[in-house]
Amino acid sequence: MAKLTKLDDIVSLCKRRGFIFQSSEIYGGLASCYDYGPLGVELKNNVKKAWWKSVVQMRDDVVGLDCSILMHPMVWKSSGHADKFADLIAECKKCNTRTRVDHLKDKEDNNIENASGQDLTNKVCPSCGTIGQFTEPMPFKLMFETQMGANIDDSMTIHLRPETAQGIFANFRNVLDSTRVKVPFGIAQIGKSFRNEVTTKAFIFRTREFEQAELEFFCEPGTDDQWYEHWKEARCKWYTDLGMKKENLRFRDHDPDELAHYAKGCVDVEYKFPFGSGDWQELEGIANRTDYDLRQHQRGMRTLNKWYENDRDLSKISLIDESEDYNKGPLSYFDEQKKERYIPYVIEPSAGMDRSTLAFLVDAYDEEEVRGETRNLLRFHPALAPTKVAIFPLVKKDGMPEIARKIYDNLKKYFNCFYDQKGAVGRRYRRQDEAGTPFCVTVDGQTNEDNTVTVRNRDSMEQTRINADNVLSYMREKLDM
RNA sequence: GCGGGCGUAGCUCAGUGGUAGAGCGUCACGUUGCCAACGUGAAUGUCGUGAGUUCGAAUCUCAUCGCCCGCUCCA
């Protein structure tokens, strides 16, 4: 079975069928930015809907949220992004390799402790081994900056969020106070995030503007391991339930040295993308973030005045130490049954919606030989298919278009449908195959006699006759919608 | 940011200094009674962009933008 083997094939398919276009293409494109076309926006919306249904709608213990992208600067001080997203990078003058200054190691035989981290004279280039031949360290701003306020004198530099998670932590108290939730419970959100990645990569796989679906699941310390396992399983099942092939999915546990300093554990759900090297690439990360974030925000809340006093300059301040009774702080939770307060632990499944959309697209792609011709099709799960049903008159006469149109007008109230009366019906079928439409309904000569129509299945190409009045109920059952 | 490759119609590509091309797709008309049928016709090009060399540039040179592969980076 010939499949998409190169990224170029995927890009070409995406453009040809209107899934994904390069942003600002008429102006030569803007690096790392992509637009979703008519089929793409339906597909991606369906992926997001499926996530929301699984993570929020179908659960009694998760509520939703939609935070603003712009947040108070202190959010990023507390989260650590303001400091860590401003790394210094130095370039080796010899081989032009850029390395983060804090990753540079001292020359080994130099026993003298080098007090200054900024002194690069004894640092070794990890690429070519040259010592001390670096450019001045240059700051990398990994967060997007923007100005809030039209009046330049009064405007404030703020950041576009680099992750949706912090908006959830910042609203932890609000949700607790307004929704009667009890630990264990989760808060879910889907939304755009922005990161000035040093290198973008592979089509929409790593872009600077991207969409995340994140869940912060709050649980009692001590139960975190079991919830971690629970979400690992639940999230993996989500992909396979939506038709993604098991052999293209795997878990990869992070090595201890790869873990963020606050994380107790982290596992990636990876998909075997057909990129050049055929590498496994991350779709989603599931992390045990412990009580780090809520505790950090408690410190941040206590630091607010210091920020005002220091000209609202994040670089001039550091977070105030944690209070001894932090467990009873403003972001703590009171357990009614145990009559005790604690800071909940957090399990965070964080999925990339653009990556998932691409993976579902690639995974659904298929080519098969039918009567010496190649049939291209996208075997989307019905929940993900951009169009659910296409309705055709077999030919454009004998009242068939009118009947087909009537069926279409009724069905489109319930799901995305497509009407087409042009050209040979075989071509229309194949066209829908390429868009991944699960069913085609065709009105033919017999419809006038006994009010039946044919339903053609995308995957098997088989046809069934059903009564025209039952099309809606038939589709609802088959599509499970 | 480094190294390599690439950029011509919606897509795949041919065209290496002398009139801008093919296949597929798209559209129209006719035909067509179930799987990319057939006939006729049509539309679609800043040859990525900008400069330069030249009588003349898709073609040569430089710059720039974008994409792919490999480094580097990925809190």
Q: What is the ipTM of this complex?
A: 0.90
State the DSSP string of A388-420: SEEEEESSS-TTHHHHHHHHHHHHTTTS-EEE-
**CA–CA separation, A391 and A414 (whole Å):** 14
- Which nucleotide minimizes the distance between its C1' and the CA of A377? B36
Q: Is the CB of A237 under 7 A from strand B?
A: no
Q: What is the pLDDT of residue A127?
A: 63
**Whole-number Å distance between alpha carbons of A19 and A434:** 11
CA of A25 and C1' of B9: distance in angstroms? 16
Tokens of A49: 């809907």
Q: What is the pLDDT of residues A4-24, one digit of tens each?
A: 667 888 888 889 889 999 999
State whether the beta carbon of A70 lies below 7 angstroms from any atom of strand B: no
Q: Which fold has domain A387-479?
A: Rossmann fold (3.40.50)
What is the radius of gyration, based on Cα positions, of chain A? Answer: 27
The C1' atom of B69 and the CA atom of A275 lie apart, in whole Å, by: 10
Provide, in whole angstroms, the distance separating residue A97's CA from nucleotide B18's C1'.
Answer: 46
pLDDT at A259: 81
pLDDT at A219: 96
CA of A360 to C1' of B27 (A): 32
Query: CA-CA-CA-CA torsion for A45, A383, A433, A408, nearest 10 degrees?
Result: -90
pLDDT in tens, A268-307: 999 988 765 557 888 999 999 999 999 999 999 999 999 9
Whole-angstrom Cα distance, residue A442 to residue A471?
11
Question: CA A217 to CA A185: how far, in whole Å?
Answer: 6
Inter-residue contact A207 to A195 (CB < 8 Å): no
Amino acid A382 CA to nucleotide B32 C1' distance, rounded Å: 32
Domain residue ranges of chain A, discontinuous segments joined by +: 38-84+148-243+282-359, 387-479
d(CA A129, CA A116): 21
**Strand nucleotide closest to residue A96 (CA to C1'):** B2
Q: Is the CB of A179 under 7 A from strand B?
A: no
Contacts 24+ apart (CB under 8 A), A174-182: A175/A63, A175/A65, A176/A333, A179/A63, A181/A61, A181/A63, A182/A336
pTM for the full predicted model: 0.91
Distance CA A38 to C1' B9 in A: 22
**Neighbour tally for A339: CB within 10 Å:** 7
Tally DSSP H helices, then E strands, for chain A.
Answer: 13, 25
Which protein residue lies nearest to nucleotide B2, measured between its Cα and the C1' atom?
A: A96
Cα separation, A71 vs A76, whole angstroms? 8
* Cα distance between residue A471 and residue A407, in whole Å: 8
pLDDT tens for chain A, 481 residues long, are 346 667 888 888 889 889 999 999 988 899 889 999 999 999 999 999 999 999 999 999 999 999 999 999 999 999 988 887 656 667 666 666 666 666 666 665 444 444 344 566 767 766 666 677 676 666 677 889 898 888 877 788 899 999 999 999 999 999 999 999 999 999 999 999 999 877 777 788 888 999 999 999 999 999 999 999 999 999 999 999 999 999 999 999 888 777 877 888 999 999 988 765 557 888 999 999 999 999 999 999 999 999 999 988 888 888 989 888 999 999 999 999 999 999 999 999 999 999 999 999 999 998 888 877 788 899 999 999 999 999 999 998 888 999 999 999 999 999 999 999 988 999 999 999 999 999 999 999 999 999 999 999 999 999 999 999 999 999 999 998 7
Note the residue count of chain A. 481
Nucleotides of B under 7 A from a protein CB: 1-2, 7, 10-13, 26-28, 31-38, 46, 48-49, 65-75
pLDDT at A128: 65
Scanning every strand, the nucleotide with its C1' closest to A98's CA turns out to be: B72
Asked, as a colleague might, if the bond just before A184 is cis with ω within 30 of 0, I would say yes
- Nearest residue by alpha-carbon distance to C1' of B67: A203
Which nucleotide is at minimal CA–C1' distance from A423? Answer: B32
Positions 446-465 in A, CB within 7 angstroms of strand B: 446, 454, 456, 461-463
Confidence at residue A1, expressed as pLDDT on a 0 to 100 scale: 39
User: Is residue A320 within 8 Å of residue A248, measured between CB atoms?
Assistant: no
pLDDT of residue A86: 59
Q: Report the amino acid identity of residue A75.
A: V
CA–CA distance, A307 with A399 (Å, rounded to integer): 74
Return chain A residues 379..408 having CB < 7 Å to nucleic acid strand B. Answer: 394-398
CATH of A38-84+148-243+282-359, one of 3.40.630.10, 3.40.50.300, 3.30.930.10, 3.30.420.10: 3.30.930.10
Contacts by A244-253 with C-beta closer than 8 Å and gap 24+? A244/A271, A244/A359, A244/A360, A244/A363, A245/A363, A247/A272, A248/A272, A248/A359, A248/A363, A250/A280, A252/A280, A252/A282
Closest amino acid to nucleotide B6 (CA–C1')? A8
